[in-house]
Amino acid sequence: MTQTPADPQATLIDGKAMAARVRAHVARDVATLQERHGLTPGLHVVIVGDNPASQIYVRNKVAQATEAGLASVKHELPAGTAEADLLALVARLNADPAVHGILVQLPLPPQIDEQAVIAAIAPEKDVDGFHVINAGKLATGGDGLVPCTPLGCLIMLRDRLGDLSGLDALVIGRSNIVGKPMAQLLLREHCTVTVAHSRSRNLADLCRRADIVVAAVGRAHLVQGDWIKPGATVIDVGMNRVPTPEKGAGKTRLAGDVDFAAARAVAGAITPVPGGVGPMTIACLLKNTVTAACRQAGVPLPSPDSSGDA
């Protein structure tokens, strides 16, 4: 973990490879459930409108779910869908015993209240872990469904560091879907957790004290290399499209919230973007669907303590 002159670069945390291992594990569990109980976990993904980035994510989610042996269905609704119609679909999926997981892709068009839709999903089918019941369970020590992105980050952290107890963790960002649940998970792991946001002062100093930095902001290169404590573990959740004029007009590339090249020279380990948190998010969605299906069917998880389970 310590940097020596012979090893000046941080270890890359290969989220893509780790996600493939989690998915292989999910696939084994799905096969076991089929064999022992005739149970096929079903994941239904709902997308409203034709945001191209959302279309790609949803296609990847459905394809990876299918490959792992889940029954996966995509529901595509037009951009002008009324809230009542989306709520009616959610109600139908809630009532269908073959549906174990429901994901409504965010963001939703402006005429639809996202909170109302999340609240309408049956908490036991809320594989995003966004429902207030699941958020409340995470905050109070219950075993609800945990949001996929923070869960993926935690699996990577535990793979890298083992026991996280007592470590100083900084989470940058306080959204309900990433920052807050990430902070709750790290607290559950006995870290000393600081949560920073747009009003935080001295972000650089907060960062310099952290053994673990999770950046979930949505601003390319916000976190500078000289903010990183030598040897720290850096998890970059950010997914930012930045222009690459050298590749031609209008071309972009994906970048995280961390100045990767600079941070890599100081950190002990760091996730790349792409190939870090993103693939783990999708793998954890499949994992949550299997967890949800087992609970709904009243059967035990085939392998409860596997693949860096949180």
Ligand X SMILES: NC(=O)C1=CN([C@@H]2O[C@H](COP(=O)(O)OP(=O)(O)OC[C@H]3O[C@@H](n4cnc5c(N)ncnc54)[C@H](OP(=O)(O)O)[C@@H]3O)[C@@H](O)[C@H]2O)C=CC1
Ligand Y SMILES: Nc1nc(=O)c2c([nH]1)NC[C@@H]1CN(c3ccc(C(=O)N[C@@H](CCC(=O)O)C(=O)O)cc3)C=[N+]21
Residues placed in the known binding site for NADP(+): 173-175
Given the complex with ligand X, which of 65 and 216 has the nearer CB atom?
Answer: 216
Indicate which of ligand Y, ligand X, none lies near residue 254 (CB less than 5 to 8 Å, by partner kind): ligand Y
Binding mask 44-83 for ligand Y (x = CB under 6 A): -------------x--------------------------
Q: Which two tokens stand for residue 27?
A: 């696939």
Query: Which of 109, 218, 231, 274 touches ligand Y by CB under 6 A?
Result: 274
Binding status of residue 123 toward ligand Y by CB under 6 A: no
296 noted as active-site residue: no
**Binding positions for ligand X, 177-196, rule CB under 6 A:** 177-179, 196
Cα dihedral across residues 63, 89, 34, 283: positive or negative: positive
- Among residues 61, 125, 180, 287, which one is catalytic? 61
**Binding positions for ligand X, 225-264, rule CB under 6 A:** 237-240
DSSP annotation of 146 reads P
- Among residues 29, 64, 105, 180, which one is catalytic? 105
Query: Which of 126, 128, 189, 236 touches ligand Y by CB under 6 A?
Result: 128
Residue 30: strand, helix, or coil: helix
Give the shortest CB-263-to-ligand X separation in angstroms: 16
Q: Which two tokens stand for residue 186?
A: 């790290």
CB–CB of 224/200 below 8 Å? no
Q: What is the DSSP string of 227-284?
A: GSPTT-EEEE---EEEE-GGG-TT-EEEE-SB-HHHHHTT-SEE--SSSSHHHHHHHH
* CA–CA separation, 173 and 214 (whole Å): 9
Name the strands in the sheet holding 233-236, side by side, starting at the edge strand that comes first in the sequence. 11-12, 269-270, 233-236, 212-215, 168-172, 192-196
* CA–CA separation, 114 and 137 (whole Å): 20
CB–CB of 75/92 below 8 Å? no
61 noted as active-site residue: yes
Place of tokens 């087992």: 294
Query: Which of 21, 208, 219, 295 touches ligand X by CB under 6 A?
Result: 219
Query: Which residues form the interface with ligand Y (CB under 6 A)?
Result: 57, 103-106, 128, 148, 239, 254, 273-275, 278-279, 281-282
Give the catalytic positions in this structure.
61, 105, 128
Query: Which residues form the interface with ligand X (CB under 6 A)?
Result: 149, 172-175, 177-179, 196-200, 203, 216-219, 222, 237-240, 277-278, 281
